[in-house]
């Protein structure tokens, strides 16, 4: 049954019913063509949702990890081990400070691998949120927790060549592994691997001959309103040290992901543009094939707006179906790719969670693409007069 017959039979029905009947009738008669259009739109939407889901999951994972390993509001860092422990003691007694921890961060080499050595005070070891995979935390000098990337096990002994910077020369230290921690930012690969070795602070100071000095201080304040004045005071007082705020670090992370999202948007836009061109081609062909039908409808008194709306409804129904399918395909596709990467040995263990906004994103994108592609054919249909349409079919 053609769309015109459906309309004639429904003459006594409301205008909305006429529009829907016209749209559904045409969708059925051109099912294969519309299916291919829906596939083109769905693929573009799926790519958009997949890239957005991966970006959101990665950003959340990085921020959560940074909050754990960098719980302080302010960090003061020096390339040399020259920050006196008494400064840390003074900060701890400041009424505006809820916590101040002095640590040493330096580098070394183990079997050709560059490692990051971190000396932390054992009395507050829980402050640093070490994510143990096996074994235990160090309890005395010479014991260490190492990152799993070093492939060491509890009970192993490793020798580290330490570059002690301003203290001069190269020193060699030997540690006994008592625990293995999960990799820092384990959702990333290669370049983000730190190969951490965590040891007691006092032991590391003694081994390096650093005395009562550290090169990093983590400061937590009782009120976030103190962050800016404290930051400015530290910057002005300790000009040889670098001072960072947690907010600035997180802003840097946001900037990186904003740039990444821009790249993802460009990639998705290319796929969606292809879908828009496909929609334009299909709707142009469809409008051409139905010119006589449109002419007869106008001749019996059906307004151009009703005809245009009926075609727009076809496009909307098509785009909604493509959008929903694309949202599901994009989310599960991202999850599948993650599992494939993990199976290939790539560290990308980032939790990907479904969010309702992905459906809204998919539907808005599919509607925009479909209507953009159909706009020109719809305009042509609206402007044609019945006599012009019939003349085209002589």
DSSP string, 298-359: HHTT--HHHHHHHHHHHHHHHHHHHHHHHHHHHHHHHHHHHHHHHHTT----------HHHH
For residue 115, give the 3-state DSSP assignment: strand
Look at residue 171 in the predicted model and tell me its pLDDT. 84
**Nearest-10 Cα torsion for 287, 291, 297, 299:** 140
pLDDT tops 80 at residue 377: no
Q: Give me 219's structure tokens.
A: 């400061």
Binned at pLDDT 50, 70 and 90, residue 184 comes out as low
Regarding whether 358 and 236 lie in a shared domain, the answer is: no
Look at residue 159 in the predicted model and tell me its pLDDT. 92
Regarding whether 288 and 223 lie in a shared domain, the answer is: no
Could you say which of 191, 219, 240 is where a domain stops?
240
Regarding whether 274 and 184 lie in a shared domain, the answer is: no
Q: Which residue has the higher pLDDT, 314 or 134?
A: 134
pLDDT tops 50 at residue 190: no
**Residue 273 resides in a domain:** yes
Look at residue 177 in the predicted model and tell me its pLDDT. 95
**Residue 267 resides in a domain:** yes
Look at residue 3 in the predicted model and tell me its pLDDT. 45
Distance between start and end Cα atoms, the chain: 24
Regarding whether 352 and 257 lie in a shared domain, the answer is: yes
Say what the pTM is.
0.63
Q: Which residues of 11-37 are buried (b: 16+ CB within 10 A; e: fewer)?
A: eeeeeeebbbbbbbbbbeebeebbeeb
Regarding whether 187 and 209 lie in a shared domain, the answer is: yes
Our count of domains for the chain comes to 2
DSSP designation for 167? G
pLDDT tops 60 at residue 326: yes
**Residue 333 resides in a domain:** yes
- pLDDT, tens digit, 9 for 90 and up, residues 240-278: 788 888 888 777 777 877 787 788 788 888 888 888 888
Look at residue 325 in the predicted model and tell me its pLDDT. 92
Regarding whether 233 and 138 lie in a shared domain, the answer is: yes
Regarding whether 151 and 57 lie in a shared domain, the answer is: no
Once rounded to an integer, what is the mean pLDDT over residues 201-209?
91
**Residue 71 resides in a domain:** no
DSSP designation for 289? H
Look at residue 69 in the predicted model and tell me its pLDDT. 62
- pLDDT, tens digit, 9 for 90 and up, residues 132-175: 889 998 988 899 999 888 889 999 999 998 875 545 567 889 99
Average pLDDT value for the chain: 79
Could you say which of 240, 266, 301 is where a domain stops?
240
Contact 331, 279 (CB under 8 A): no
Regarding whether 120 and 62 lie in a shared domain, the answer is: no
Binned at pLDDT 50, 70 and 90, residue 39 comes out as confident
**Residue 348 resides in a domain:** yes
Once rounded to an integer, what is the mean pLDDT over residues 296-318?
77
Could you say which of 240, 274, 294 is where a domain stops?
240
Lowest mean pLDDT of 199-203, 248-252, 359-363, name the range: 248-252
Residue owning tokens 């509890």: 154
Regarding whether 118 and 30 lie in a shared domain, the answer is: no
Look at residue 328 in the predicted model and tell me its pLDDT. 92
CA dist 98 and 87 (Å) reads 15
- pLDDT, tens digit, 9 for 90 and up, residues 90-147: 988 999 998 888 999 888 898 888 888 999 888 777 666 677 889 998 988 899 999 8
Regarding whether 270 and 199 lie in a shared domain, the answer is: no
Look at residue 155 in the predicted model and tell me its pLDDT. 93
Range of the structural domain that residue 166 is part of: 79-240
Contact 205, 161 (CB under 8 A): no
pLDDT tops 70 at residue 200: yes
pLDDT tops 80 at residue 332: yes
% residues pLDDT > 70 (the chain): 78
* Class of residue 231 by CB neighbours under 10 A (exposed 0-12, middle 13-18, buried 19+): buried
Regarding whether 55 and 88 lie in a shared domain, the answer is: no
Q: Give me 213's structure tokens.
A: 């000095």
Largest CA distance in the chain: 100
Regarding whether 134 and 38 lie in a shared domain, the answer is: no
- pLDDT, tens digit, 9 for 90 and up, residues 48-62: 898 888 888 878 877
**Residue 13 resides in a domain:** no
């Amino acid at each position: 049954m053609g769309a015109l017959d459906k309309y004639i039979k429904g003459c006594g029905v409301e205008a909305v019913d006429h529009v829907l009947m016209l749209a559904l009738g045409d969708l059925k008669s051109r099912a294969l063509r519309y299916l291919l259009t829906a596939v083109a739109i769905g693929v573009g939407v799926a790519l958009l949702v997949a890239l957005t889901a991966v970006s959101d999951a990665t950003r959340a994972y990085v921020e959560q990890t940074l909050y754990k390993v960098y719980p302080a509001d302010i960090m003061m860092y020096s390339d040399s081990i020259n920050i006196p422990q008494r400064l840390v003691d003074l900060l701890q007694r400041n009424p505006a400070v809820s916590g101040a921890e002095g640590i040493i961060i330096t580098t070394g080499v183990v079997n050709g691998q560059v490692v990051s050595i971190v000396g932390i005070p054992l009395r507050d070891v829980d402050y640093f949120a070490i994510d143990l995979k096996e074994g235990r935390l160090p309890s005395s000098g010479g014991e260490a927790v190492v990152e799993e990337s070093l492939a060491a096990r509890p009970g192993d002994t490793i020798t580290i060549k330490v570059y002690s910077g301003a203290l001069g020369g190269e020193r060699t230290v030997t540690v006994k592994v008592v625990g293995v921690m999960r990799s820092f930012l384990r959702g990333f690969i290669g370049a983000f691997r730190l190969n951490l070795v965590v040891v007691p602070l006092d032991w590391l100071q003694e081994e390096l001959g650093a005395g009562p000095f550290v090169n990093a201080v983590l400061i937590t304040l009782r009120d976030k309103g103190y962050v800016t004045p404290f930051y400015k005071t530290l910057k002005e007082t300790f000009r040889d040290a670098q001072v960072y705020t947690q907010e600035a670090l997180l802003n840097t992370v946001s900037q990186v992901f904003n740039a990444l999202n821009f790249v993802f948007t460009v990639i998705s836009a290319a796929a969606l543009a292809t879908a828009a061109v496909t929609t334009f081609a299909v709707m142009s062909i469809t409008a051409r094939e139905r010119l006589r039908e449109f002419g007869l409808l106008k001749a019996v008194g059906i307004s151009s707006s009703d005809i245009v709306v009926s075609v727009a409804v076809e496009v909307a129904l098509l785009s909604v179906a493509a959008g929903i399918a694309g949202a599901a395909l994009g989310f599960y596709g991202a999850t599948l790719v993650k599992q494939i990467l993990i199976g290939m040995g790539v560290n990308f263990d980032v939790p990907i969670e479904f969010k309702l906004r992905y459906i809204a994103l998919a539907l808005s994108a599919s509607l925009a693409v479909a209507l953009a592609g159909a706009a020109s054919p719809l305009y042509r249909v609206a402007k044609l007069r019945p006599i012009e349409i019939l003349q085209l079919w002589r």
